[in-house]
Structure 1
Amino acid sequence: MAQAYPRSRFHGFDFHPASVDAARRLAEEAGVADRVTFEVAAADEFPGGGYDLVTFFDCLHDLGDPGAALRQAEKALAPDGSCLVVEPNASAEPGANIHPIGRSFASTSAVLCLPTALAQNGLHALGNHAGRALEGIAAEAGLSRWRLAVETPTNRVHDVKR
């Protein structure tokens, strides 16, 4: 994104220090370190505000408290800002996932997504098929305009606003 929009500034946050270090290295290698920063911060505690866009890339369903992250996003958004939520294109209906991608998502959810959320002792353990549940959690966080922006075989991208 920083390469495509050179006049924009990007701030990335992750709770995992090694991931932040890797992101900084990659930004340097890509020649965008002058307009990209990365910091260690939890999704519900990232700093700053007035952001035009806050994006969650395939992670809200992994959080024990996605509502706290969405409340932080709502608070950090500029008045006309958007929250972009990228989530797996997995169905909450088991029968709808009987295809190679669906089976992969279901197994990943069982061994990665759900245990990660449970380890955080939060309010939720949603799994990677949490689309409709996340929509309700977003509304409770003050982000009540939930729109499917694009859907691919692997992901759904939602535009979420106040």
Structure 2
Amino acid sequence: MFHYTFFSQPSPLWQGVIALRMRVFVDEMQVPSELELDQYDAAAIHLCVQDGKQTIGTLRLIEDKKNTENTIKIGRFALNKVYRRQGIGTKMMHQTYHWCQQYAVSKLYLDAQTYIVPFYKTLGFIEQGDVFIDAGIPHVRMTYTLTEDL
């Protein structure tokens, strides 16, 4: 049984989230470790997905204070390789939609690695703009407008 928990720091869940992000982004994707943890983590809301006590999935939500709408940026979406293609990523996003509705968030955006764009399209995200490089990996901005009938 998977457990989906939203938390802010400090939290005992944080160490598992860091370990998973390092494994996925640094070890698998070769993102430099100094880029993985940043100044946004302390203020972010994090989603931790656990299978028992093992952290298997995570993402973070950052309030976009520059935007006049109530907008959140989704980032650092990571899922343990063993658990991919089982619907857990979709469930993570649905949990995120519901969390955002509780806080009157109207719009979400993320910078998707280009290989995963089809996944986000199935969830209703729309590409915005051109491909750009971040940490040596091609990305594209994608947006999603929340509705009341999720």
Q: What's the TM-score once normalised by structure 1's chain length?
A: 0.40
Bigger helix fraction: 1
Bigger strand fraction: 2
Larger of the two Rg values belongs to structure: 1
